[in-house]
Structure 1
Amino acid sequence: MLINCVAYQDGKKLADIPVGDISDYLNRPGCFVWVALRDATEPELLVMQREFALHDLAVEDARHGHQRPKVEEYADMLFAVVHTVEFSATDELRVGEVNLFVGRNFILSIRNRSTQHLLGVRERAEREPHLLKHGSGYVLYAVMDAVVDRYFPIIDALESELENIEGQIFVRGSARANIEHLYQLKGRIMTVRHAVTPLMESASKLWSGRVPSVCEGSREYFRDVYDHLVRINGALDTLRDTIGTAIQVNLSMVTIEESETTKQLAAWAGIFAIATAFAGIWGMNFEHMPELKWKFGYPMALGTIVVACSLLWRRFRRLGWL
């Protein structure tokens, strides 16, 4: 679906133009065209390929989608893929995709499987004509910067979730649930990492070494995007390490709880062993056992068992076994 099709000259908006007039504006000196599509259909892709002379391989990648974040160079055109990450209604992470075709005098963005619109990027660029006059290279930076900046709230949410789980680590009986939550959180972190790490590698090509010609005027801006990605990647590494530590602590808590249970069982077994020993001795019924003929033998036997068990219970209590 077509969202916008706008022509710009010297950093200022000329007009919203129909798709059929794109080629006319591309021939104007100092003019470039910015087209935005959402969930593009096959006919729309074919029209854009014809208007912008897009490379077949790049169009094929955009058609099938589910591409790894990357930046590829085709002659004087760039094809970039960036992933959007957002929370769904069920608090699961949903990954979308933005495909960008960037030429000397045009940029085409195709947003797929994402509810995050990029209208704010266009408004921001139009408020900065002194930067927009750099052309399609600056627009590529603006789109990438907007997508990358939206990773930061995701990181904050994941950090808050981890803090909540850490607050439950020392609650007795919660270790199993904590480990399940930690593994779920680890999966979300890996989802974000799959979007960030490849893009960080690709963004480095846009500001260091031999920079594509369409990005030459915006080299320092792409370095800023790269710096943001490095920060995000570092935060993801920290989260992953903390999760590993938290899982080990939870496993240790399970071991401690099992040890405490084992000690309690052993203590009660010892107490009942004393009672069983006395009962076994007095239950042998030998003929010459003086207690059998004694009037107070039965109360004495019960009292002895109670006293012995009480002393043992008190001892285990002091040791912290009960």
Structure 2
Amino acid sequence: MLMNCAAYQKGRKLADVAIDNLNAYRDVPDAFIWVALKDPEPGELPHLAQQFGLHELAVEDAQTGHQRPKIEEYGDSLFCVLHTVELDAEGELVVGEVDVFVGSNYVLSVRNRTTQGFTDIRKRCEREPHLLAFGPAFVMYALIDAIVDRYFPILEALGAELDELEERIFERNGSAASREIIEDLYSLKRRLVQMHHLTAPLQEAVSKLYGGRSPGICAGMEDYFRDVYDHLQRIVKTIDARREMIATAIQVNLALISLAESEVTKRLGSFAALFAVPTMIAGIYGMNFHRIPELDWAYGYPACLGVMLSVDVFLWRRFRKAGWL
């Protein structure tokens, strides 16, 4: 579906352009055309590929989808694969894909499986004509920068979830709750790994857009691409740090489970000792031998009960003092 198609010259919008009238502006000096597609129909992308002379391998990647983030150079044009990330109602990541074709006089963006549009990006570019004058390179920077900036709220939401899980770890709610916490931690770790797979390759790709060997189409925009690289570096480091925190949280939770089981074992052992002494004495005097000492003693029965009670009281106080009961 065609979302927008407009021609720009020296940072100013010339006009909205019909999809079949692209050639009217392609030869205008210092002008370029910006076309935006969303979930394109089967024939739309091949038609534009023929209009702009897009490389067949880049078009094939865009049609296939599910590519890893990358920026590839085909002659004097660039092909970018970016990924958008959104959170659904259950907190799961919804990953979309944005393919961007950039040439000297065109920008073609194709987004799939995304609900957030790029209208605000186009408005931002039109509000900054001094930067839009750089041409397609600035539009590519604006698209990458906007997508990267949208990662930060996702990381903040995942960080808040991690903080909540860390608080739950120290709540004594039984083994079932501990198991649920571990499951939630692994779920969070899986989403952070997914975020890492979306950002780390893009960081490496963006690093090629500035410096001595940057593509010619990016001339004058190196500082801006370096700023995007810095943002991605922060994101990747944050993801790595939170993955380490999750690993530590899992170890702490397992240690607390072991401590809780040890406490239960101590309590059970204490109660077993309290019952063991009376059982032992009763067992001895319950044996069917005729010559057991004190068997015919008149005070034998209360004496046995007194010894049982005294020993249990002594053990109970000792266990209580030791914190076992």
Give the alignment's TM-score, normalised by structure 1.
0.97
Q: Tell me how far 1:289 sits from its aligned partner.
A: 3.9
Letter paired with 1:34: W
Equivalent residue, structure 1, for 2:201 = 198
Distance in 2 between the 1:267 and 1:287 partners?
A: 34
Letter paired with 1:212: P
For structure 2, the residue ranges without an aligned partner over 5 or more in a row are none
Equivalent residue, structure 2, for 1:265 = 268
- 2:35 counterpart SS class: strand
Matches within 5 A, 1:1-322: 1-172=1-172, 173=174, 174-289=177-292, 291-322=294-325
Distance in 1 between the 2:230 and 2:212 partners?
A: 16
Letter paired with 1:193: H
Offset from partner CA, 1:13-51 (integer Å, 9 cap, x none):
111110111122111111100000001122001111111
Offset from partner CA, 1:194-219 (integer Å, 9 cap, x none):
11000000000101231111111211
Letter paired with 2:290: E
Q: Tell me how far 1:90 sits from its aligned partner.
A: 2.2
Distance in 2 between the 1:289 and 1:75 partners?
A: 106
- 1:110 counterpart SS class: strand
Query: Given that residues 77 and 104 in structure 1 are in contact (C-alpha distance below 8 angstroms), is that contact kept between their aligned partners in structure 2?
Result: yes
For structure 1, the residue ranges without an aligned partner over 5 or more in a row are none
Offset from partner CA, 1:223-246 (integer Å, 9 cap, x none):
110000001011011101111111
Distance in 1 between the 2:223 and 2:23 partners?
A: 31
- 2:211 counterpart SS class: coil
- 2:163 counterpart SS class: helix
Offset from partner CA, 1:110-160 (integer Å, 9 cap, x none):
011111111100000000011101100000000000000000001111111
Query: Given that residues 6 and 14 in structure 1 are in contact (C-alpha distance below 8 angstroms), is that contact kept between their aligned partners in structure 2?
Result: yes
- 2:169 counterpart SS class: coil
Q: Tell me how far 1:290 sits from its aligned partner.
A: 5.6
Letter paired with 1:231: R
Q: Tell me how far 1:276 sits from its aligned partner.
A: 1.3
Q: Relative to structure 2, which stretch is displaced further, 119-128 or 247-256?
A: 247-256
Distance in 2 between the 1:290 and 1:202 partners?
A: 91
Q: Relative to structure 2, which stretch is displaced further, 162-171 or 65-74?
A: 162-171
Query: Given that residues 82 and 97 in structure 1 are in contact (C-alpha distance below 8 angstroms), is that contact kept between their aligned partners in structure 2?
Result: yes
- 1:185 counterpart SS class: helix
Offset from partner CA, 1:39-76 (integer Å, 9 cap, x none):
11220011111111111000000001000000001111
Q: Tell me how far 1:295 sits from its aligned partner.
A: 4.0
Query: Given that residues 23 and 52 in structure 1 are in contact (C-alpha distance below 8 angstroms), is that contact kept between their aligned partners in structure 2?
Result: no
Offset from partner CA, 1:238-257 (integer Å, 9 cap, x none):
10111111111111111111
Distance in 2 between the 1:226 and 1:197 partners?
A: 10
Letter paired with 1:275: P
Letter paired with 1:32: F
**What is the CA RMSD across the aligned residues, in angstroms?**
1.2
Q: Relative to structure 2, which stretch is displaced further, 166-175 or 186-195?
A: 166-175
Distance in 1 between the 2:195 and 2:322 partners?
A: 49
- 1:85 counterpart SS class: strand
Distance in 2 between the 1:164 and 1:89 partners?
A: 18
Aligned residues: 322
